[in-house]
Amino acid sequence: EDKVVQSPLSLVVHEGDTVTLNCSYEVTNFRSLLWYKQEKKAPTFLFMLTSSGIEKKSGRLSSILDKKELFSILNITATQTGDSAVYLCAVEQGGATNKLIFGTGTLLAVQP
Partner 1 sequence: EPEVTQTPSHQVTQMGQEVILRCVPISNHLYFYWYRQILGQKVEFLVSFYNNEISEKSEIFDDQFSVERPDGSNFTLKIRSTKLEDSAMYFCASGGRDRGIRGYTFGSGTRLTVV
- What residue ranges bind partner 1 (CB under 8 A)? 32, 34, 36, 41-45, 47-48, 50, 88, 90, 95-105
The full 3-state SS of 37-77, as one line of letters, equals EECCCCEEEEEEECCCCCCEEECCEEEEEECCCCEEEEEEC
CB of 67 to partner 1, least distance (A): 16
Of 16 and 95, nearer to partner 1 (C-beta) is 95
Dist. CA 107–CA 112, nearest whole Å: 16
What is the C-alpha separation between 109 and 13, in angstroms, rounded?
Answer: 6
Q: Which is nearer to partner 1, 96 or 112 (CB)?
A: 96
Question: Considering the complex, what minimum distance in angstroms separates the CB of residue 91 from partner 1?
Answer: 11
In angstroms, what is the minimal distance from the CB of 62 to partner 1? 16
Residue 103 C-beta: closest distance to partner 1, Å: 6
Question: Which backbone phi and psi does 81 adopt, to 5 degrees?
Answer: -60, -30
The helix/strand/coil state of 83 is helix
Whichever of 28 and 104 has its CB closer to partner 1, that residue is 104
